Structure 1
Amino acid sequence: MANGNATSSTEAARYNVTGMDCASCAAKIEKAARGVAGVRDVKVSIASQVMTLSVDDPGTRLPAVEAAVTDLGYRLNRVSEASDDDDDDRIPDLSHVTPAYKRALWIVVLLNVGYGIVEAAGSFLAGSQALQADSLDFIGDGLISFLGLMAVGWGLAARAKAALLQGVFLGLLGLGVMASTAYRIFVEHQPESLLMGGFAVVALAVNVAAAAVLIPHRKGDANVRAVWLFSRNDAIGNLMVVLAAGLVFWTGTQWPDLVVAFIIAGLFLQSAWSIIRDARSDLRDAKG
């Protein structure tokens, strides 16, 4: 049973999370935290990169929660007790944000956004909806990294407002891809499979390069695993496009391209909605 002391300590049980880049990351962290005995409630916001939880006996339970989350490959920084009275002043621990780390993040932003634009152009050249959807994934990753750079040291409300705008923008892009893919169902058009596969292979190389840039700046084995986890997820999307290109070549139809486009765009829209939902919730918390 929770007691009065546990309840008062619960208000300080907030962490900034490093390593999240999608809704599935937040869901995995929440599941791990809920798996610890004594944890009563958990909220993980991808928009503000904050985990808030209530626990019984925080002195015992919180170290167990920290171990469960870091074992997944994410970095946790406890929000200082002094900031608990004002939600808008939940300022992250910036000890890991060195000039070299910020330069690495800028490289990742340029790689993701730059190749996202290149791949978007390639999707028109190849006539591939799957490439178009994958290019959005690159642009989305780049914008998330860009927001992380720009929002270093911002309070909760400012981060939530920026994330809300980002989520709406990304959601509109995703809906645009869904609409154009649906249109292609009624317009017979076989993509250029070799060109499509070539752009997807380069996309995989760019994802590997982005991970290689970040790995030296991650502290500890768990954070190296975090880089691997979200780089692996991005690579799966690239490989799906390569597979679709092979099936387009083999079957002589556009359907593999359209199916993969719907899958990638659907996952992209899910992430955009998670950002919007979390940002709105964070804004309510900040005002409260």
Structure 2
Amino acid sequence: MSHDHSHAAPKNLTPAFQWAVGLNAVYVLLEAAAGFMTGSLALIADAAHNLTDVAGLLIAWAAMALAERRPSEQFTYGLGRSTELAALANAIAILVGVGAVVWEALGRFQTAVEVPGGTILAVALVGIGVNFGTAMLFRSSQHGDLNAKGAYLHMMADGAVSVAVVLAAGGIMVTGWTWLDPAVAILVSAVIAVTAYGLMKSSLRLTLDGVPENIDKTAIGDWLTRLPGVQSMHHLHIWALSTTKTALTVHLVMPAPVKASFLADTAQALAHEFSIDHATIQIEHPDGQCETDP
């Protein structure tokens, strides 16, 4: 039986991530303050959306800190799974906030509230600069780094949302239609809800020991059965140790004696080909193999 315990620590946050956290945190405070002072639900909803960006970046930061902690007697796999729980809690909190904004917005359709379109326009224009500017921080590294690509696409989408708020503010200034503010608030909340639902779905999948979305279990099973000397395979289990680390256990039935380097080479190949960080492989002879999965 082989146990590959190569827990390479995640890379430290780059200056791009540090700038992204700082810029978006400052803008969230600015936008939320302007939203409450002017009574603009569009600004408050967009501030909530930008807050999800800050939360996501901070969760990644916390995950890196937890990944550096060594396993203990009580937590033999370490504390990586706390990142999954944090993501789940974050998603639930976002959805609750979305419900509150939508409820208030529906009431605004019946009772109009005057909002200063000029202030909304100015704040949203700053948001366009912050979001698209932050996206540019990740543009050069997005092609070789999945995390950078996710940050780049997310910030570009946020920039588009800020453009929608600008259009609403311009519409209010030109037409005087105050209903545009709650309408855009609902539209932005819908975007937030979709993002939060995806986050909740992914975090629940990991929390319940589901196979991570970026892992193809069928491909791994086919690859293992094609290894030289492997007659069959069973008890293949793949789950997430954290939001960035994946574990695997498998039983391989091999009639002939196994080469000394087989286990280490297989674990190393699983890490290289399929991003499996922690592989445990059990070798069995056909005459003494355990019961297979039902």
If the length of structure 2 is used for normalisation, what is the TM-score? 0.59
Please give the residue correspondences for 1:76-225 in structure 2 after superposition, counting only pairs within 5 Å: 82=4, 94=10, 97-98=11-12, 101=14, 103-152=15-64, 153=67, 157-215=81-139, 218=142, 220=144
Q: How do 1:16-55 and structure 2 match up within 5 A? A: none
C-alpha contact 1:117 1:139 (8 A) present in aligned 2 = no
CA distance in 2, matches of 1:170, 1:245: 24
Q: Secondary structure at the match of 1:253?
A: coil
Contact 2:105 2:183 in 1 (8 A): no
Query: Aligned residues: percent identity?
Result: 23
Aligned residues: 198
> Which residue of the partner structure matches residue 197 of structure 2?
273
Q: Give the conservation status (yes or no) of the 8 Å contact 1:130–1:257.
A: yes
Contact 1:174 1:269 in 2 (8 A): yes
Shift of 1:124: 2.0
Distance 2:202 2:151 in 1: 23
Q: Decide whether aligned partners of structure 1 residues 274 and 156 sit closer, same or farther in structure 2, where only a CA change above 3 A counts.
A: farther
Deviations 1:75-113 (A, max 9, x none): xxxxxx947xxxxx9x6773xx245x1x43132112212
The match for 2:168 is 244
Cα distance, 1:167–1:223 mapped onto 2, change above 3 Å: closer
Distance 2:28 2:151 in 1: 19
Distance 2:113 2:204 in 1: 40
Work out whether 1:260 is the aligned partner of 2:184.
yes
8 Å Cα contact 2:142-2:152 kept in structure 1? no
Q: Secondary structure at the match of 1:254?
A: coil
Separation in 2, partners of 1:196, 1:244? 9
- Gap runs ≥5 in structure 2: 68-77, 211-237, 240-294
Structure 1: which 5+ residue stretches go unaligned?
A: 1-80, 84-88
Name the aligned partner's letter for residue 138 of structure 1.
N
Deviation at 1:237, TM superposition (A): 0.3
Measured at CA, do residues 224 and 142 of structure 1 come closer, stay the same or move farther in structure 2, by a change above 3 Å? closer
Q: Could you tell me how far apart the structure 1 residues matched to 2:176 and 2:95 are?
A: 32
> Larger % of helix: which?
1
Following superposition, the deviation at residue 241 of structure 1 comes to 0.4
What is the distance in 1 between the residues matched to 2:209 and 2:31? 38
Cα distance in 2 for residues equivalent to 1:174 and 1:182: 12
> Which residue number corresponds to residue 158 of structure 2?
234
| Cα distance, 1:202–1:188 mapped onto 2, change above 3 Å | same
The CA deviation string for residues 198-232 of structure 1, in whole angstroms up to 9 with x for no partner, is 00000111113322333455564988765543332
Partner of 1:28: none
Amino acid in structure 2 at the alignment position of 1:191: V
Supply the AA of the counterpart residue of 1:116: V
Deviation string, structure 1 residues 3-48 (Cα, Å, up to 9, x no partner): xxxxxxxxxxxxxxxxxxxxxxxxxxxxxxxxxxxxxxxxxxxxxx
Could you say what the CA RMSD is over the residues aligned between the two structures, in angstroms?
A: 2.9
